[in-house]
């Protein structure tokens, strides 16, 4: 079974997409999965996704479940932006899976519009303080690898004001990046009890 010969456009597309998408690029090319695989092996193309790709699709959906995120487009590899949806607020936006997986990136609307609380916490294990903003302090604190003590928090009911206060507070401390936390290491610092008390005035 020879099939219809491949055009140079199809070959080009295959050479471009197969390394990223594996056989699933057959949808873009308009060929059968089998035809794509045969042609790819003829051209000695290798897919970085290997045969584990399907398994990883499930894994990716699984991995973002806890953030209440779903994907509305077919997964095409970690570096190819696809449409996501945040079930809490209904926002749909395009982003790269690796941004969701590796960074702490989540729904842009919830992050930008609703982060209105500024908090100062203390990690006793590391003798380390941290300042941050969030829209939900209890939820946020649970996402750290160590349980912090909440020292101060204030709800400014406005993202810009929360961001401004956070910036101001961060400019007043000597930030140290210890890499001890699973996230947010750039906003940590050491301080004396007196210095913390001074910062407390901004949470009043």
Interface with Zn ion (CB under 5 A): 86, 89, 91, 107, 109-110
Q: Residue 100 or residue 107: which is nearer to Zn ion going by CB?
A: 107
Determine the Cα–Cα distance for residues 204 and 197; give it in Å rounded to an integer. 11
Q: Nearest distance from residue 149's CB to Zn ion, in Å?
A: 28
DSSP conformational letter for 115: -
Q: Nearest distance from residue 183's CB to Zn ion, in Å?
A: 18
Q: Nearest distance from residue 145's CB to Zn ion, in Å?
A: 24
Nearest by Cα to 123 from 185, 202, 199, 166:
185
Q: Nearest distance from residue 15's CB to Zn ion, in Å?
A: 38
Q: Residue 91 or residue 95: which is nearer to Zn ion going by CB?
A: 91
Q: Residue 27 or residue 83: which is nearer to Zn ion going by CB?
A: 83
Determine the Cα–Cα distance for residues 29 and 20; give it in Å rounded to an integer. 14
Compute CA 161 distance to the chain's CA centroid, rounded to the nearest angstrom.
24
Q: Residue 78 or residue 113: which is nearer to Zn ion going by CB?
A: 113
Q: How many beta carbons lie within 10 A of that of residue 40, not counting itself?
A: 21
In the complex, which residue's CB is closest to Zn ion? 107
Crossing angle of helices 33-42/8-21, nearest 10°?
Answer: 90
């Amino acid at each position: 079974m020879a099939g219809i010969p491949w055009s140079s456009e199809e070959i080009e597309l295959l050479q471009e997409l197969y390394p990223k998408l594996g056989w699933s690029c057959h949808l873009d090319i308009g060929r059968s999965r089998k035809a794509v695989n045969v042609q790819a092996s003829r051209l000695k193309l290798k897919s970085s996704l290997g045969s584990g790709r399907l398994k990883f699709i499930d894994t990716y959906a699984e991995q973002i479940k806890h953030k209440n995120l779903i994907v509305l487009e077919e997964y095409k590899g970690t570096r190819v932006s696809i449409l996501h949806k945040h079930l809490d607020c209904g926002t749909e936006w395009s982003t790269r899976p690796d941004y969701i997986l590796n960074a702490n990136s989540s729904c842009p609307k919830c992050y930008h519009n609703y982060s209105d609380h500024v908090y100062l916490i203390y990690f006793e294990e590391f003798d380390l303080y941290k300042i941050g903003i969030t829209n939900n302090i209890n939820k946020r604190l649970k996402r750290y690898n160590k349980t912090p003590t909440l020292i101060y928090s204030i709800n400014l009911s406005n993202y810009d004001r929360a961001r401004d206060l956070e910036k101001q507070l961060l400019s007043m401390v000597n930030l140290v990046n210890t890499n001890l936390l699973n996230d947010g290491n750039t906003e940590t610092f050491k301080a004396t009890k007196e210095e913390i008390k001074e910062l407390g005035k901004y949470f009043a």
